[in-house]
Structure 1
Amino acid sequence: MTVTAPHETARRVAPAKARILETAMRRFYDDGIRQVGVDLLISESKVTKATFYKHFGSKDRLVLDYISTRRDAALESLSGLVTAHEDPRVGLRLVADAVVAQVNAPGYRGCPFLKAAAEFPDPTHPVRRVVTEFHESLHEVLEQTLTRMSHPMPGEAADELVLAYDGAMAWSHVGDVIAASAALRRVFDRVIAQAG
């Protein structure tokens, strides 16, 4: 679920635009969105200022593209995992495995969505709306999977899985990654077992 490059679409993206977004994906995640200035992005992307503004118009637009790209890629990955196997229980275990792999990967610096929410505290800001959309969509994917499993309380169980997901993503960055990974797996295993 780690995203290091823009999600490919059917539409061809100009190479300069792709380079700028690739640079933003790395720098915004590693250093923080507000810490990274336009001049640094232009320099590292090896584009001119005119090219930057032609493709994005402003840093705000690039930030929105950055967080939207992360949202789309993460949801595509999660949806693919829960449908990768006929048995939805296996799909949920694949989600847990993917989270554990992500938080244990070299260069993991925390959840990009939680980090973005911390930098944009106003819930009406477009970046925060994308973060909220991600969590709502994550909940929906999990609830639908739990419903397919005939879980007795799929909505409430999805709440627990989202909480475990966010908790593991945060705790792994600031605390004990091994304990966070184990706790995440326990919650997923318990919720799966409740489905009978």
Structure 2
Amino acid sequence: MGDRSPARSRLLGTASRLFYTEGLHSVGIDRIVAEAQVTRATLYRHFPSKDHLVVAYLREVDKAVRAKVTEVAAREESSADVVRAVGESIAADIRAPGFRGCAFLNAAAEYPDPAHPVHRTVLVHREWFLRTITDLMTHAGATAPDPAARHFVMLRDGAMAAGSLADPEPICRTLLRGVEGLLTYQDARVV
């Protein structure tokens, strides 16, 4: 069976929902199989282990984030506007019902071993995101694009963590003010 099989899609959709809402370690294979209405053999035909399923889930989240950034970049005229729009997109996610933080930060917390495939999948996404923001900051004219991009990622991480714990509105306002500050602050000494 190929990657487009309905059973694989149900498995991945079910696992993704459960992993995001309840955590990676707390959701067992038996529950995923039962809710996806497939057999264990079907699960293991598509995903040789739970770790493979977790990696597939994170890759789907990664694809969705990349698609969002691509969509935003296609709409905006300047790199600075793309950076602002990425910030707005993050704020919209934080405000969404059922928001439970960043799937990648959640996964890194549950899989802290840097050699583990799940942790490596998290790092691949984060490296791409940092490179993307660095490129955008460079094109936006930031005199120190590398530190500005790292600050953006930290703002995002903090907002996503805080947004899952408290009223998202003040957190989103702070995030967006911070993003604007990064676009206007041109001091190369920022590290």
List per-residue Cα deviations over 1:84-109 (Å, max 9, x = no partner): 31211211111111111111111111
Stretches of structure 2 lacking an aligned partner (at least 5 in a row): 187-191
Distance 2:147 2:119 in 1: 24
**Contact kept in structure 1, 2:101 and 2:164, CA below 8 Å:** yes
Q: Which of 13, 35, 50 is 1:44 aligned to? A: 35
Distance 1:132 1:57 in 2: 22
What is the match of residue 156 of structure 1? 147
List per-residue Cα deviations over 1:7-62 (Å, max 9, x = no partner): xxxx8610000100000110000111111111111110011111111111221211
Stretches of structure 1 lacking an aligned partner (at least 5 in a row): 1-10
Distance 1:84 1:135 in 2: 23
Distance 1:102 1:18 in 2: 23
SS at match of 1:123: coil
**Contact kept in structure 1, 2:7 and 2:38, CA below 8 Å:** yes
| 1:143 is aligned to 2:134 | yes
Q: Which of 44, 53, 61 is 1:62 aligned to? A: 53
| 1:98 is aligned to 2:89 | yes
Distance 1:47 1:105 in 2: 30
Q: How many residues align?
A: 185
| 1:32 is aligned to 2:56 | no
Distance 2:80 2:4 in 1: 38
Distance 1:88 1:138 in 2: 15
**Contact kept in structure 2, 1:75 and 1:134, CA below 8 Å:** no
What is the match of residue 191 of structure 1? 182
What is the match of residue 111 of structure 1? 102
Letter in 2 for 1:98: S
Give % identity.
36
Distance 1:111 1:27 in 2: 14
Letter in 2 for 1:115: N
1:68, distance to aligned residue in structure 2 (A):
1.6
1:137, distance to aligned residue in structure 2 (A):
0.9
Distance 2:43 2:136 in 1: 41
Q: Which of 16, 21, 38 is 2:7 aligned to? A: 16
1:150, distance to aligned residue in structure 2 (A):
1.6
SS at match of 1:174: coil
What is the match of residue 129 of structure 1? 120
**Contact kept in structure 2, 1:25 and 1:66, CA below 8 Å:** yes
**Contact kept in structure 2, 1:63 and 1:127, CA below 8 Å:** yes
- The list of structure 1 runs, each at least 4 consecutive aligned residues, that deviate by more than 4 angstroms after superposition, is none
What is the aligned-residue RMSD (CA, Å)?
1.5
Change (3 A) 1:94 1:111: same
Distance 1:152 1:137 in 2: 21
**Contact kept in structure 2, 1:82 and 1:145, CA below 8 Å:** no
Alignment TM-score, normalising by the size of structure 1: 0.89
Distance 1:126 1:71 in 2: 15
Letter in 2 for 1:129: R
